[in-house]
Amino acid sequence: MADSVELILYGEGAAYDLGASHPLKPGRVLLTHRLIEEYGITARDNVTSTRARDATDDELRLVHTDAYIEAVKAAGNGKRGPWWEFGFGPGDNPIFPHMHEASARVAGATITAAEALLSGRADHAFNPSGGLHHALAGRASGFCIYDDPAIAIAWLQEQGVGKVAYVDVDAHHGDGPQDIFYDDPSVLTISLHQSGRTLFPGTGFVDETGGPGAEGSAVNVPLPPLTPDGLWLRAFEQVVPPLLEAFQPEVLVTQLGCDTHCTDPLTNLMLTTGAFLETARMLHELAHSTAGGKWLATGGGGYQWAKVVPRAWTIYFAEMAEFDLPDEVPAAFLREAERQAGEPVPLRLSEPAITTSPVTVEEIDAIVAALGRARLGL
């Protein structure tokens, strides 16, 4: 029998919209929903769609400070204040109307996914609007207001879940969950990302391994720019499966940022959709072999919002639902995506792999070796 899967819909209300000129486009989530529907995945017997609810203030307080939550509310309602102290201002984190409401909905969507797993409604659940992994306890950062993956993990802990593993495959380091759970040995955070030496947020090095009493609970794989599919997958395969097998979490939480794609305008990795397909397969297997099948997935980064993001996240959701995707993208989706983007979008899911790169196998293996030494305190 196929796994039961739930797709979490953001629903109506205040949009998480940082502005027309901002690279984080809300349309990428809507187009992902559209492509999943056009492929017919939501019509399968093992798939349900559920509208998100808003996270309550008490749920937000599981991670964020009272002062920060009140600042988000006040700033989004147009009140004046020293909002730069909380990370807001021109650039990455502009203030926008109803900012709290929109952000609480994203957090609530990921909690809704967690509820689906614990209630038995679904084996796997996916919130494409989530994955806002840069927000810290008292500060916005990197386009992120509330840290929905961290909130969902803390919510799971409050419900009695003992151990949670968080795997982040975004091009940017998953600094928020790492920071929030740095001293908690019951949460394993693993992040594969472009090195902080060349990309925001400038963190995520191999020597960041967890706080006192939680040594080894934070794992970082900082990869060089221009890392292609094969070498990225080599790093993943050497690091993630053995760690999850050893840790045996009760729930696997993943952040599936697809700004690792070779065409992403904000990053410098060289992945194609082939890597997303293989990563989805491995995460699905690991959810079953290590976490009793409980897999909570969130979206994340991705700034080719019409050309790449919907295809990437549909690949992941199809894997969760055990649905064999035709390679040809449905015509109705193509028309709508091209109308919104004002330019052509790819006709197929598949792409030719990039076979030339200055990055070598030896470089990747050296990073993994250094990671091993750091975890052993050598």
Q: b or e along 156-175 (b: 16 or more beta carbons within 10 Å of the residue's beta carbon)?
A: bbeeebebbbbbbbbbbbbb
Question: At CB < 8 A and 24+ separation, what contacts does 370-374 make?
Answer: 370/206, 371/206, 371/219, 371/220, 371/221, 371/239, 374/206, 374/207, 374/209
Provide the angle, in degrees to the nearest 10, between the axes of the packed helices 331-341 and 27-38.
170
Residues that are catalytic: 134
Q: In what order do the strands lie in the sheet with 47-51?
A: 47-51, 5-9, 124-127, 295-298, 251-255, 164-168, 187-194, 218-223
Rounded to whole angstroms, the Cα distance separating 269 from 191 reads 15
Helix (H) or strand (E) holding 364: helix 361-375
Rounded to whole angstroms, the Cα distance separating 29 from 106 reads 11
